[in-house]
Structure 1
């Protein structure tokens, strides 16, 4: 099944356009294909559900958690110090 397409004109710095064209040429594709792959990758990444560990790393801890105490507790548990 064919995908509906349309044209898009974007304005980028000249050096970025040159980079995109060179990258596409080096990889045997077109700027359109490079852009399409990049946007598909973004779409896939947006669908992924963050893991709990990622929540902790990115600061999505529950309110009232003593971060420094948690870090020290995990460090001691991991390294036995």
Structure 2
């Protein structure tokens, strides 16, 4: 069964584009395959890890932020505890 696909145009810094192209070539992959594998891994982590952990891994949280403490604070606020 074929997976439905869609074309996406993104803008990235030139250094990131060059990196992903080199990485893909060195590993015998296409750029699409590299991105697809990364997104699949993120989906797995999203299902397994607390949301703050995924944000920390993907760089959405500052490196100096205590993700666990922030998550506990948000849960406490959300659930009124």
TM score, norm. by length of structure 2? 0.63
| Matched length | 57
Change (3 A) 1:22 1:49: closer
State the structure with bigger RCO (CA 8 A, min sep 6), 1 or 2.
2
Report the structure number with the largest CA radius of gyration: 1
TM score, norm. by length of structure 1? 0.63
Structure 1 residues without counterparts, runs of 5 or longer: 51-56, 64-81
Question: Quick one: distance in 2 between partners of 1:12 and 1:49?
Answer: 27
Deviation readout 1:54-78 (Å, 9 max, x if unpaired): xxx8122797xxxxxxxxxxxxxxx
Superposed CA RMSD in Å reads: 2.0
Q: Which runs of 4+ in 1 moved over 6 A?
A: none
- Equivalent residue for 1:45? 45
1:47 Cα deviation (Å)? 0.3
Match of 1:58 among 60, 68, 74: 68
